[in-house]
A and B are shown apart, each in its own frame.
Chain A
Amino acid sequence: MPTQVTVFLENEQGRLAAMCRTLADANVNMSALTVADTASYGVARLLVDKPGDALAALAEAGYRVRLVDVSAVEIPNVPGSLALLLEAFDKAGLNLEYAYCFESGKEGVVVVFRAENIEGIADIVESLGYRLLKSADL
Chain B
Amino acid sequence: MTAKEQERYYQQEIETMSPEALFALQSERLLASVTNCYANIPFYKRSMDAMGVKPGDIGSVEDLGKLPFTTKQDLRNAYPFGLFAIDVRDRVQRLHASSGTTGNATVCGYTQQDINNWGDCFARTIAQVGGGSESIIQIAYGYGLFTGGLGAHEGGIRSGATILPMGSGNTRRQVQMMNDFGSDILACTPSYALLIADTAIEMGYDPAKDFKLSAAILGAEPWSQGMREEIEDKLGVMAVDIYGLSEVMGPGVSCECRAQNGLHVAEDHFIIEILDPETLKPVPDGEFGEVVFTTLTKECSPLLRYQTRDISRILPGECSCGRTLRRMDRISGRTDDMLIIRGVNVFPSQFQQAIADFIEVTNHYEIILTKKDQLDMVELRVETVPDFDFDEIRRIESLQQRIAAELKSSLQISVKVSIVEPKSLVRSTGKAKRVIDERQL
Q: A4, A8, A10, A59: which contacts B390 (Cβ < 8 A)?
A: A8
What residue in chain B is nearest A15 (Cβ atoms)?
B421
- Among B372-388, those with CB < 8 Å from A are 383-384, 386, 388
B4 within 8 A of A: no
The answer to whether B421 and A43 have CB atoms under 8 Å apart is no
Point out the residues of chain A lying under 8 angstroms from B421, CB to CB: 8-10, 62-64
Give the docked Cα–Cα distance between A115 and B392 (Å).
Answer: 10
CB of A98, distance to nearest CB on chain B (Å): 8
The answer to whether A64 and B386 have CB atoms under 8 Å apart is yes
Point out the residues of chain A lying under 8 angstroms from B422, CB to CB: 62-64
Highest count of chain B CB atoms <10 Å: which of A4, A8, A114: A8
- Among B113-150, those with CB < 8 Å from A are none
Task: Tell me whether A64 and B393 are in contact in the complex, defined as CB-CB below 8 angstroms, given that A8-B419, A41-B419 are known contacts.
Answer: no
Q: Interface readout for A71-110 with B: 1 if CB under 8 Å, 0 if not?
A: 0000000000000000000000000011000000000000
CB of B422, distance to nearest CB on chain A (Å): 6
Point out the residues of chain B lying under 8 angstroms from A63, CB to CB: 421-422
CB of A69, distance to nearest CB on chain B (Å): 10
Give the docked Cα–Cα distance between A4 and B393 (Å).
Answer: 15
Task: Tell me whether A114 and B391 are in contact in the complex, defined as CB-CB below 8 angstroms, given that A8-B384, A59-B386, A64-B384 are known contacts.
Answer: yes
A40 within 8 A of B: yes
Point out the residues of chain B lying under 8 angstroms from A38, CB to CB: 393
Q: B386, B390, B394: which contacts A6 (Cβ < 8 A)?
A: B390
Point out the residues of chain B lying under 8 angstroms from A68, CB to CB: 389, 391
Give the docked Cα–Cα distance between A4 and B390 (Å).
Answer: 13
The answer to whether A40 and B391 have CB atoms under 8 Å apart is no
B424 within 8 A of A: yes
Give how many A-B residue pairs fall within 8 Å (CB-CB).
48
CB of A76, distance to nearest CB on chain B (Å): 28
CB of A47, distance to nearest CB on chain B (Å): 13
Give the docked Cα–Cα distance between A8 and B361 (Å).
Answer: 14
A66 within 8 A of B: yes
Point out the residues of chain A lying under 8 angstroms from B389, CB to CB: 66, 68
Give the docked Cα–Cα distance between A43 and B397 (Å).
Answer: 12
Give the docked Cα–Cα distance between A66 and B396 (Å).
Answer: 14
- Among B356-410, those with CB < 8 Å from A are 383-384, 386, 388-394, 396
B423 within 8 A of A: yes
Give the docked Cα–Cα distance between A8 and B384 (Å).
Answer: 10
Point out the residues of chain B lying under 8 angstroms from A45, CB to CB: 391
Give the docked Cα–Cα distance between A123 and B20 (Å).
Answer: 74
What residue in chain A is nearest B394 (Cβ atoms)?
A97
CB of B388, distance to nearest CB on chain A (Å): 8
What residue in chain B is nearest A61 (Cβ atoms)?
B423
- Among B258-295, those with CB < 8 Å from A are none
B195 within 8 A of A: no
B414 within 8 A of A: no
Q: Interface readout for A21-60 with B: 1 if CB under 8 Å, 0 if not?
A: 0000000000000001010110101000000000000010
Point out the residues of chain A lying under 8 angstroms from B396, CB to CB: 41, 43
Point out the residues of chain A lying under 8 angstroms from B388, CB to CB: 64
The answer to whether B419 and A6 have CB atoms under 8 Å apart is no
Point out the residues of chain A lying under 8 angstroms from B420, CB to CB: 10, 41
The answer to whether B391 and A66 have CB atoms under 8 Å apart is yes
Point out the residues of chain B lying under 8 angstroms from A4, CB to CB: 391
Give the docked Cα–Cα distance between A29 and B40 (Å).
Answer: 83
B418 within 8 A of A: yes
What residue in chain B is nearest A43 (Cβ atoms)?
B393
What are 7 pairs between A and B in contact, CB < 8 Å?
A: A8-B390, A8-B419, A45-B391, A62-B422, A64-B386, A64-B388, A64-B390
9 A-B pairs with the lowest CB-CB distances in the bound complex, closest first? A6-B391, A68-B391, A62-B423, A97-B392, A10-B421, A8-B390, A40-B418, A62-B422, A66-B391
Binding site for B on A (CB under 8 A): 4, 6, 8-10, 36, 38, 40-41, 43, 45, 59, 62-64, 66, 68, 97-98, 114
- Could you list 7 further interchain pairs (A-B, Cβ under 8 angstroms) beyond the known A6-B390, A41-B396? A8-B384, A8-B421, A10-B421, A40-B418, A62-B423, A63-B421, A64-B386
